[in-house]
Amino acid sequence: MRKIKEEQMNFGEVDISQIKFDLKSRDEIPQLLAGLQYIYCTPQLKEDVFSLLRKHIKISKKGRRGMDLWNILVLGVVRLNCNWDYDKLKEMSDNHSTIRQMMGLTPFENEDKFPLQTLRDNVSLLTPELLNEINTIVVKAGQNLIKKKDEEIKARCDSFVLETNVHYPTDTNLLMDSVRKAVEIVAKLCDENNISGWRQYAYQLAEFKKLLRICQKIRKSTSKDPEKQKAKKNKNKQAHCDYMNKAEELFIRAEDSLMQLRAMGSDGMLISQISCAEAFMNDGVKLIDQIQRRVINGEKIPHEEKLFSLFQRHTEWICKGKAGVPQELGKRLCIIEDQHGFVLSHEVMDRLVDTDIAIPFIEKVKNLFPKLYSCSFDKGFWSPENKKNLEGIINIALPRKGRLTREAQIYENSSEFTEAKKKHSAVESCINALENHGLDHCPDCGIKNLERYVSLAVLGRNTQKLGSVLLTKQKKKQKHSEKIKEGLRRRASILTAA
């Protein structure tokens, strides 16, 4: 049984509308919770968000009680905005009184504490599509608090890289990963099914790793003596040959064991694990071929044939040409921010660059926010087609690559373009804020989990921005009331003295 939010309050529970925040605090948690409080306490906003939760997540009235969907949304947003892992999230959800009040829980009750796996399973129910729709509602609510009536949206667009949780990839250490995973899976299956041959698999992997270390140490030699260089080259080839031969030997033994396991039956779990081991072995065979071609034959492996991770296959090798950052391993993200600091939308760029995404992305944002009037870009988005097509959608400030023509000089020296270019740099501040609140590194595995991670981070940032606006207004009201009280006290003291 699962509900959106339990309406009946328990003994000791605080009404969400009555939660108070420290107006002097500069931490992100009060701002984020103030934004969530506004969503929950604004009737139309609450109904829109809750209807989306009902639409995207199945609610059952049977079985034991599950986590309320409001609590799932709160925990997911808090985790990303504070850049916590699930262990930290569990600790704070169990012991942070204000977060528990926002979830509608009584403070520090043992029966309302959630196990770690429960948090993982429930937060994964939030889909990117659901989070993006909620984000649009939150942005419109924030804009209504700040902007003037019928004010047009002036946006700025840019892209950056979200790093995935991978180590630096080389064909030799990726081969180590494939052999290690294949052998561990096969050894475990053989142990469970009483098949001999893998009692010393840990020792075999340790010996294989020693061969990897030999290959790595040889590559670090920097001698300039021609004879030593020639000897080093031969030694390097021999070391890699030994490394590849050992990998092939372990793969042959693993294949023999898999043949015995296949003959044992058609259990679904067993077949799934066998397929997983075979996938790692196939990757290993591909990597052995690449090492053979690169080290022994002296070939240069084409970029499109290279693997960058066996576990995060969506990872891309990205070179943006920034100083001090020769390459990044992850996925490109494109965001668009309005003049008030709200992230209107975002896009995970799968094997795309800035010029590929500009037109469809702006069309999507224009459909979500019809009042989008203009948008500024950097040079990475420029192409003749993009400039022509984007001008038919909105007003743009898109600087040209390379040498400027006379027409381009006139365009880029115009007052409207200059003004947009001055304000465009503010998008870097937005990117930095997103990176500080979760989007510097994604620990979640898989492209779907990465998309959910990004959507939660953007929603969390906009909710925090909404809360910041609300708390700023409360501070101004408080200062105004204090001035009035001070004035009344002074007037009373003057009258008393008279």
Indicate the pLDDT class of residue 417, thresholds 50, 70 and 90.
confident
Residue 410 has what pLDDT?
Answer: 87
| Cα(432)–Cα(444) distance, integer angstroms | 20
3-class DSSP state of 148: coil
The predicted model gives 212-217 an average pLDDT of 91
Asked if pLDDT for residue 62 goes beyond 90, the answer is no
Portion of the chain with pLDDT greater than 90, in percent: 60
Residue 325 has what pLDDT?
Answer: 78
Per residue in 14-58, pLDDT (tens digit) is 788 888 998 888 899 999 999 999 999 999 999 999 999 988 887
Q: What is the mean pLDDT of the chain?
A: 89
* C-alpha dihedral (399, 405, 406, 408), degrees to nearest 10: -20
Class of CATH domain 148-165+314-458: alpha beta
Secondary structure E strands in 137-255: 153-164
DSSP string of 6-49, one letter each residue: --SPPTTPPPGGG----TT--SHHHHHHHHHHHHHHSHHHHHHH
Residue 484 has what pLDDT?
Answer: 86
Residue 223 has what pLDDT?
Answer: 67
Residue 151 has what pLDDT?
Answer: 85
- Residue 104 CB neighbours (<10 A): 22
| Cα(328)–Cα(168) distance, integer angstroms | 10
Indicate the pLDDT class of residue 483, thresholds 50, 70 and 90.
confident
* C-alpha dihedral (236, 242, 246, 248), degrees to nearest 10: 80
Asked if pLDDT for residue 234 goes beyond 80, the answer is yes
Residue 412 has what pLDDT?
Answer: 85
The predicted model gives 123-133 an average pLDDT of 94
Indicate the pLDDT class of residue 335, thresholds 50, 70 and 90.
very high
The predicted model gives 66-83 an average pLDDT of 91
Indicate the pLDDT class of residue 221, thresholds 50, 70 and 90.
low
Indicate the pLDDT class of residue 415, thresholds 50, 70 and 90.
confident
Residue 343 has what pLDDT?
Answer: 95
* Token representation of residue 1: 């049984």
Per residue in 450-475, pLDDT (tens digit) is 999 999 999 999 999 999 999 998 88
The predicted model gives 365-385 an average pLDDT of 92
- Is pLDDT larger for residue 201 or for residue 228? 201
The phi-psi region of residue 357 (left if phi > 0; otherwise alpha if psi is between -120 and 50; otherwise beta) is alpha
Q: Which residues of 286-303 are buried (b: 16+ CB within 10 A; e: fewer)?
A: bbbebbeeebeeeeeeee
Asked if pLDDT for residue 333 goes beyond 70, the answer is yes
| Cα(176)–Cα(173) distance, integer angstroms | 5
Asked if pLDDT for residue 250 goes beyond 90, the answer is yes
Per residue in 285-300, pLDDT (tens digit) is 999 999 999 999 989 9
| Cα(397)–Cα(60) distance, integer angstroms | 50
Asked if pLDDT for residue 5 goes beyond 80, the answer is no
Residue 6 has what pLDDT?
Answer: 67
Kindly report the backbone phi and psi dihedral angles of residue 337, in degrees, each rounded to the nearest multiple of 5, phi listed first: -120, 140
Asked if pLDDT for residue 1 goes beyond 60, the answer is no
* Token representation of residue 75: 């925990």
The predicted model gives 113-133 an average pLDDT of 92
Per residue in 76-108, pLDDT (tens digit) is 999 999 999 999 999 999 889 899 889 888 765
The matching CATH number, chosen from 1.10.3470, 3.30.43, 1.25.40, 1.20.120, for 171-305 is 1.20.120
**Terminal C-alpha separation, the chain:** 71
Distances (CA, A) of 63 to 54, 56, 66: 18, 20, 9
Spell out the domain ranges in the chain: 16-126, 148-165+314-458, 171-305
Among residues 76, 81, 83, 165, which one has the least CA distance to residue 119? 76
Indicate the pLDDT class of residue 225, thresholds 50, 70 and 90.
confident
Distances (CA, A) of 141 to 42, 180, 191, 335: 10, 51, 58, 19
Say if residues 358 and 381 touch (Cβ distance below 8 Å). Answer: yes
- pTM as predicted: 0.90
Kindly report the backbone phi and psi dihedral angles of residue 20, in degrees, each rounded to the nearest multiple of 5, phi listed first: -105, 145
| Cα(198)–Cα(204) distance, integer angstroms | 9
Residue 109 has what pLDDT?
Answer: 59
Per residue in 135-169, pLDDT (tens digit) is 999 999 999 998 777 789 999 999 999 999 999 99
Residue whose entry in the numeric block shows the structure tokens 């909105």 = 394
